[in-house]
Amino acid sequence: MDLSRNGHPNTKPAPKAVVGRVSLYLRQLESLQRQGLTKTSSHQLGEPFGIKNAQVRKDLAFFGQFGRPGIGYHINDLILVLRRILGVDKDWPLILVGLGNLGRALLRYRGFQSRRFHIVAIFDTDPKKIGQTYQGVTVEPLDALRKGIAAHKTSLALLCVPADAAQRVADLMIAVGIRGILNFAPVPLAVPPQVSVIAVDLSIQLENLAYKVQGSLDGVSWAG
């Protein structure tokens, strides 16, 4: 399947950094669309994120030729093509494993639904939680994982269990066919090469933020 409109055999997988930025461009395009605009430029697409116009063009060029010299990009068209490239032109069922504080917050998170990600099953080991219904979905025991994944044809999982259970649960998920894991547990997961993991580690992010602020704060007495 050739995802580009013109040219480009599109053989090599896109670099991770490119995909991340294309997601941002899509956000900006949708924002411009809501503002009622119909066309845009590489400058306008990258500007809110501090990305240079040449970078935007290079990133898009990876997937095909979508603009017109002297004119720019047609917003509606580019939204459709980028959604298709990123795979968000269809629904993605998700499972949520581990219904702690974070799990419950994710369950109500608006950002997922608006991007066609839907939590279709919840799993936990706590007998008090099993059988309860949250946001219209009933919590099932971990043993029901295989059946649940098959029923919903799910490839993606949100892993929100405690650190010491994370690898064990991940192994289980992979064994029953999960291909992508958004890992909220603060431990590195060992997974086979066909499985993708993205780690969401808030304390690492906060640590990096503290480092940056520390540098600019050095020798400066607190006052602002």
Partner DNA sequence: TAGATTGTTAATCGATTAACAATC
| Residues near a second copy, by CB under 8 A | 1, 13-14, 16, 19-20, 23-24, 27, 48-49, 85-88, 92, 94, 101-102, 104-106, 108-109, 111-112, 114-115, 117, 153, 155-156, 176-177, 179-182, 186, 188, 190, 194, 196, 198, 200-219, 222-224
Candidate list 2, 37, 52, 168; residue touching DNA; CB under 7 A: 52
Q: Does position 125 bind DNA by CB under 7 A?
A: no
Does the footprint of DNA cover residue 25 (CB under 7 A)?
no
**Is 26 marked as binding a ligand?**
no
Q: What strands lie across the sheet with 72-74, from one edge to the other? A: 39-40, 72-74, 67-68
Q: 36 labelled as ligand-binding?
A: no
How far apart CA 131 and CA 183 sit, in angstroms, is 24
The site that binds DNA (CB under 7 A) totals a number of residues, namely 26
The answer on whether 183 is annotated among ligand-binding residues is no
* Distance from C-alpha of 99 to C-alpha of 134, rounded to nearest angstrom: 10
User: Which helix (H) or strand (E) segment is 167 a member of?
Assistant: helix 163-175
72 binds, among a second copy, DNA, none (CB under 5 to 8 A by kind): DNA
Q: With left for phi above 0 and alpha for psi between -120 and 50, is residue 98 left, alpha or beta?
A: left
Q: Which is nearer to DNA, 78 or 181 (CB)?
A: 78
Q: Is 68 in the site for DNA (CB under 7 A)?
A: yes
Residues in Cβ contact with 220 at an 8 Å cutoff, skipping those fewer than 6 apart: none
- For residue 54, how far is the Cα from the chain centroid? 25
Looking at 27, 43, 104, 152, which residue binds DNA (CB under 7 A)? 43
In sequence order, the 6+-apart residues with CB closer than 8 A to the CB of 109 are: none
Question: Among residue numbers 137 through 166, which ones bind DNA (CB under 7 A)?
Answer: none
Residue 121 host element (H or E): strand 117-123
Distance CA 71, CA 69 (A): 5
Binding residues: 98-103
Q: Which positions lie near DNA, rule CB under 7 A? A: 7, 15, 17-18, 40-43, 51-55, 57-58, 60-61, 65-73
